[in-house]
């Protein structure tokens, strides 16, 4: 005769199994999160490569790089970022037969329609990963604005230059903890970058950069220092510091 097993004992077995499963899930969470973050980093690196190709295509079509910001008719207020101007060259990411999702240049960057597009594609031009304390870390690919860089504070037409392979220059740079939508016409100046370096913004994560030869590269925290960044960003002698 089989020994009698009460329902209470069966419930305790179920509770034990659930506890074991919960513990295993907790043990797996760091590995799963690390895999997700690694996937996000690889996606971001691939996006940087695609942006490099798009910049060269833009220059082929227009004769120079896009301006850092497209301004209104009076030339006062920034209306659109270079990121928006580059969208037609980043197919198929933004190519759609549904024209309701076309970016509208006849509206400002912060119109409800353009904000909707940027909100639905939050990772575009951005890296968003979860840190150990579960706080998302967001970084964005930005232009460094200065008379000595590829991105003039005016709307001068700057072209990609041919540098020797061991002397490439930075076009775009990853900056951590920048809030806001990626289509906002907002980047940082060289002075602001130097203040960020002094504040140890790059001390932990370093920075991904895109060079004018199309190569993407990760700069270690030690490499992100003022003298080195001035060297890697400078593309002209007149007005250089």
| pLDDT, tens digit, 9 for 90 and up, residues 161-204 | 865 566 899 999 999 878 788 999 999 999 999 999 999 999 88
Residue 35 has pLDDT above 60, yes or no: no
188 phi and psi angles, rounded to 5 deg? -130, 150
Amino acid 32: pLDDT: 40
Amino acid 51: pLDDT: 92
Average pLDDT, the chain: 80
Mean pLDDT to the nearest integer, 205-231: 94
Q: Who contacts 35 (Cβ-Cβ below 8 Å, separation ≥6)?
A: none
Question: Contact at 8 Å (CB) between 218 and 50?
Answer: no
132 phi and psi angles, rounded to 5 deg? -60, -30
Angle at 190 (CA atoms; ends 73, 204), nearest 5 degrees: 125
Task: Among 5-9, 12-16, 113-117, 197-201, name the one with the lowest average pLDDT.
Answer: 5-9
What token pair was written down for 172? 């775009």
What gap in Å lies between CA 55 and CA 88, rounded to an integer? Answer: 11
Residue 33 has pLDDT above 90, yes or no: no
Residue 144 has pLDDT above 90, yes or no: yes
Mean pLDDT to the nearest integer, 209-224: 93
What gap in Å lies between CA 78 and CA 66, rounded to an integer? Answer: 13
Question: Contact at 8 Å (CB) between 150 and 169?
Answer: yes
Question: Contact at 8 Å (CB) between 79 and 108?
Answer: yes
**Which residue is listed with tokens 């227009």?**
62
| pTM for this entry | 0.77
Single out the residue of 27, 38, 23, 26 nearest to residue 130, CA to CA: 38
Confidence of residue 241 (pLDDT cuts 50, 70, 90): very low
Mean pLDDT to the nearest integer, 85-114: 79
Residue count of the chain, please give it: 241
Burial of residue 107 (CB within 10 Å: 0-12, 13-18, 19+) is middle
Amino acid 40: pLDDT: 66
Give alpha helix (H) positions in the chain: 7-62, 82-85, 112-120, 190-198, 226-233
Residue 36 has pLDDT above 50, yes or no: no
Task: Among 2-6, 72-76, 114-118, 145-149, name the one with the lowest average pLDDT.
Answer: 2-6
Amino acid 154: pLDDT: 78
Mean pLDDT to the nearest integer, 146-171: 83
Amino acid 3: pLDDT: 52
What gap in Å lies between CA 129 and CA 139, rounded to an integer? Answer: 9
What gap in Å lies between CA 147 and CA 141, rounded to an integer? Answer: 19
First CA to last CA across the chain, in angstroms? 93
Q: Who contacts 101 (Cβ-Cβ below 8 Å, separation ≥6)?
A: 94, 117
What gap in Å lies between CA 214 and CA 4, rounded to an integer? Answer: 74
What gap in Å lies between CA 178 and CA 195, rounded to an integer? Answer: 14
Domain ranges of the chain: 39-233
């Amino acid at each position: 005769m089989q020994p009698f097993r009460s329902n209470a004992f069966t419930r305790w077995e179920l509770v034990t199994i659930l506890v074991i499963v919960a513990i295993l899930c907790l043990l797996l969470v760091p590995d799963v999160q690390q895999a997700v973050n690694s996937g996000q980093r690889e996606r971001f690196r691939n996006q940087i490569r695609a942006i490099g190709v798009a910049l060269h295509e833009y220059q082929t079509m227009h004769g120079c790089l896009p301006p850092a910001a497209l301004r209104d008719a009076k030339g006062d207020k920034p209306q659109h970022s270079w990121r928006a101007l580059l969208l037609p060259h980043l197919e198929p990411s933004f190519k759609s037969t549904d024209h309701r999702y076309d970016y509208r240049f006849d509206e400002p960057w912060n119109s409800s329609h353009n904000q909707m597009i940027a909100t639905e594609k939050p990772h575009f031009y951005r890296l968003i990963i979860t840190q150990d304390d579960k706080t998302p870390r967001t970084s964005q690919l930005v232009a460094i604005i200065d008379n000595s860089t590829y991105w003039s504070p005016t709307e001068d037409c700057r072209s990609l230059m041919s540098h020797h392979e061991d002397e490439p220059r930075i076009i775009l740079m990853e900056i951590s903890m920048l809030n806001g939508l990626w289509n906002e016409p907002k980047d940082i100046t060289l002075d602001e970058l130097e203040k960020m370096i002094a504040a140890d913004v790059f001390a932990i994560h370093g920075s991904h950069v895109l060079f004018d030869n199309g190569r993407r590269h990760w700069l270690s925290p030690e490499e992100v220092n003022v003298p080195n960044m001035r060297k890697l960003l400078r593309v002209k002698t007149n007005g250089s510091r």
